[in-house]
A and B are shown apart, each in its own frame.
Chain A
Amino acid sequence: MAARTLYDKLWDAHVVRTEPDGTTLLYIDRHLVHEVTSPQAFEGLRLAGRTPWRTSSILAVPDHNVPTTAREQGIADPVSRIQVETLDQNCVDFGITEFGMNDLRQGIVHVIGPEQGATLPGMTVVCGDSHTSTHGAFGALAFGIGTSEVEHVLATQCLIQNKSKNMLVSVEGELAPGVTAKDIVLAVIGRIGTAGGTGYAIEFAGSAIRALSMEGRMTICNMAIEAGARAGMVAVDETTVEYVAGRPYAPRDDDWDQAVAAWFDLHSDAGALFDTVVELDAAAIRPQVTWGTSPEMVVAVDGRVPDPDQEADPVRAEGMRKALAYMGLAAGTPIRDIRPDHVFIGSCTNSRIEDLRAAAAVVKGRKVAPNIQQALVVPGSGLVKQQAEQEGLDRIFLEAGFEWRAPGCSMCLAMNADRLQPGERCASTSNRNFEGRQGQGGRTHLVSPAMAAAAAVAGHFVDVRELGEG
């Protein structure tokens, strides 16, 4: 057989049938469900008199709307409450496993899937959420879908798809201390642009990617969609297998041995052909900060806000001008002179235990700067929160002046009460700096957890490496 990429292998293994024009019926192994993009899909099933094809493939959790404070009192916003209750009811009606809002295992859908071992190497994983690309970190084919497709997977366990092209993003070398997975992926997006990966599945490879923990790989694959690629992925290695071992949904005994043997084939063959190859030197990547309203609008922390007058493409220059006006920034401003009002550490990109440890290491022994009105830490799941508390990270954050919240999507997209007011500026570990994303008129700067923590204690953006030990 010809040399195949990881994506080719995952695709081939899930083809139910292919039409002569290439349209393919693709089988889905794992379907993750949350409250925002599923109600209309369940309603569609009911109206057509259909039932889910295989309920054991589905795991549901409310995350977008849930409050991060006083949760035992329920959800104050009646519209949010109805949406969460609708998910609860749909799961009861159709016999679907759900981790309810007050379950210790509840959390952001893209944190709990891997945490539970519900995401496994070699799977196809879908969810009505674009950041489903996260799960590709396990050598899985994982991508976000719309609500009509959610209904389609519920009813048929399949999706009608056309195969994407293959892109390899290779990051070789060693990262400088203080530079993280988030900085790698922001640098990649800065290089190829937010549409650079459109039509592709991206495999992230190279020694710098192999050196990352699973948390770091998830951060990178999470933001593949911010580069336009529906799916991002990383080959399976020992790090992957060690992470999965012993998790509640992971295979056991004979199944485990058989699975691990199969998983070690989940890498691109030598000589496999990619349609596009992008190469980055890990050692050259510096901590990244976005300045605009698209993740591709990013520079290193020692850089300056760019000048639209220097941009040759008139459409891009106009986009930059609109972004600067929205962000309240002048061209040429040093990134270090930008002073956030809020700091948000959380989201499906950066709310796992390693992210919280990295932020706590910077915060330890320091105080949140007086100009920061609010600094939030929102762990990705109840289990991450529990683990962090066992390690004493909550005390470090609280003593520094951070708020320590209950898990959920929170201020990444501000569907619950956690949001910016117009004009407020936020150093955020999330994934999107779009207009209004964190609250109407809110201004978002995307950074790594360590850089967000550094901004919190310094009161402005600063290279975390200059802060030294706390």
Chain B
Amino acid sequence: MEKFTVFTSKVVPLDRPNVDTDAIIPKQFLKSIRRTGFGPNLFDEWRYLDHGEPGQDCSARPLNPDFVLNQPRYAGARILLGRENFGCGSSREHAVWALTDYGFRVVIAPSFADIFRSNAFKSGLLPIQLEAAVVERLFQAAQAEGFTLTVDLGQQLLTSSSGEAIPFEVDAFRRHCLLEGLDDIGLTLQQADDIRAYEQRRRVEAPWLF
């Protein structure tokens, strides 16, 4: 996984609660057996006016001009701003892969669904949970042309282009993995002796499980 570094970006406001993973990446694109290439179909049903199918040339498809991601002022943004319960529904990690493949590295919301949150950390997307009032303020600010946020995961700090500093909380282990770009399977395998000891104990206590 790529190391998570300090960056500054525009912020795309996606103003709806309960954005589910079916909306983030519709089911027809889950048939891919690869981890990449989902970006063009991110938010497919909201982003395009026609029906999307795998294998299309998305650059030739009619865009929905009303959808926020299609507004030229937000081009190149790496931060998505959402509402409550972002990423609810299906456990599909393809939703995270679609967001990162498009270019997002951070999603800010008042709350995230649990599975989406853990998938995000695993695939290099930082979910930042802020109080609803702070998120509301960011929605207002993101309307202004030229508004940006700087994300510093090491300091756990967002800094806005207007100078506001917004601290955020993040799980220490997840932060460490993101900053170092660590493969957590490798870390877990360092505990292999503990796993084997657990199994030995369980084979005695509950032999029917093996």
Complex contact B31–A65 (CB within 8 A): yes
Interface centre among B27, B55, B183 (most CB of A within 10 A): B27
B180 in the interface (beta carbon within 8 A): no
Complex contact A37–B93 (CB within 8 A): yes
Distance of B41 from chain A, by nearest CB (Å): 12
Given A315-B83, A319-B16, residue A148 in contact with residue B93 (CB < 8 A):
yes
Given A160-B173, A435-B23, residue A194 in contact with residue B18 (CB < 8 A):
yes
Q: Which of B111-125 contact A (CB under 8 A)?
A: 111-115, 118-119, 122-123
Complex contact B45–A440 (CB within 8 A): yes
Residue of chain B at shortest CB distance from A150: B93
B34 in the interface (beta carbon within 8 A): yes
A432 in the interface (beta carbon within 8 A): yes
Complex: how many Å from CA A79 to CA B55? Answer: 10
Distance of A133 from chain B, by nearest CB (Å): 10
A21 in the interface (beta carbon within 8 A): yes
Complex contact B188–A158 (CB within 8 A): yes
A16 in the interface (beta carbon within 8 A): yes
**Which residue of the partner chain, among B30, B54, B173, B207, contacts A36 with CB atoms under 8 Å?**
B30
Complex: how many Å from CA A129 to CA B21? Answer: 12
Q: Could you say which of A251-259, A275-283, A360-368, A451-459 contacts chain B?
A: A251-259
- Render B166-183 as a binary contact track against A, CB cut-off 8 A, 1 for contact: 000001110000000001
**Which residue of the partner chain, among A27, A50, A83, contacts B31 with CB atoms under 8 Å?**
A83
Distance of B51 from chain A, by nearest CB (Å): 5
Complex: how many Å from CA A435 to CA B27? Answer: 12
Complex contact A228–B85 (CB within 8 A): yes
Complex contact B31–A130 (CB within 8 A): no
A198 in the interface (beta carbon within 8 A): yes
**Which residue of the partner chain, among A29, A130, A149, A259, contacts B90 with CB atoms under 8 Å?**
A130
B133 in the interface (beta carbon within 8 A): no
- Render A403-437 as a binary contact track against B, CB cut-off 8 A, 1 for contact: 00000000001110000000000000000101111
A146 in the interface (beta carbon within 8 A): yes
Complex contact B173–A195 (CB within 8 A): no
Q: Which of B1-60 contact A (CB under 8 A)?
A: 15-18, 20, 22-23, 26-28, 30-35, 45, 51-52, 54-55
**Which residue of the partner chain, among A132, A147, A156, A225, contacts B93 with CB atoms under 8 Å?**
A147
Complex: how many Å from CA A64 to CA B89? Answer: 16
Distance of A328 from chain B, by nearest CB (Å): 16
**Which residue of the partner chain, among A19, A148, A262, contacts B123 with CB atoms under 8 Å?**
A148
**Which residue of the partner chain, among B15, B33, B112, B209, contacts A43 with CB atoms under 8 Å?**
B33
Given A21-B172, A123-B209, A319-B17, 13 more A-B residue pairs with CB atoms under 8 Å apart are A21-B171, A36-B92, A53-B195, A82-B33, A83-B33, A146-B92, A147-B94, A149-B119, A225-B89, A258-B208, A322-B16, A434-B22, A440-B52
Q: Please list the residues of chain B having a beta carbon within 8 angstroms of any beta carbon in chain A.
A: 15-18, 20, 22-23, 26-28, 30-35, 45, 51-52, 54-55, 83-85, 88-94, 96, 111-115, 118-119, 122-123, 171-173, 183-185, 188-189, 191-192, 194-195, 198-199, 202, 206-210
What are 15 sample pairs from A and B whose C-beta atoms fall under 8 A apart?
Answer: A23-B171, A25-B195, A120-B208, A122-B209, A146-B96, A146-B122, A147-B94, A148-B93, A149-B119, A151-B185, A228-B88, A230-B114, A316-B17, A318-B16, A437-B22
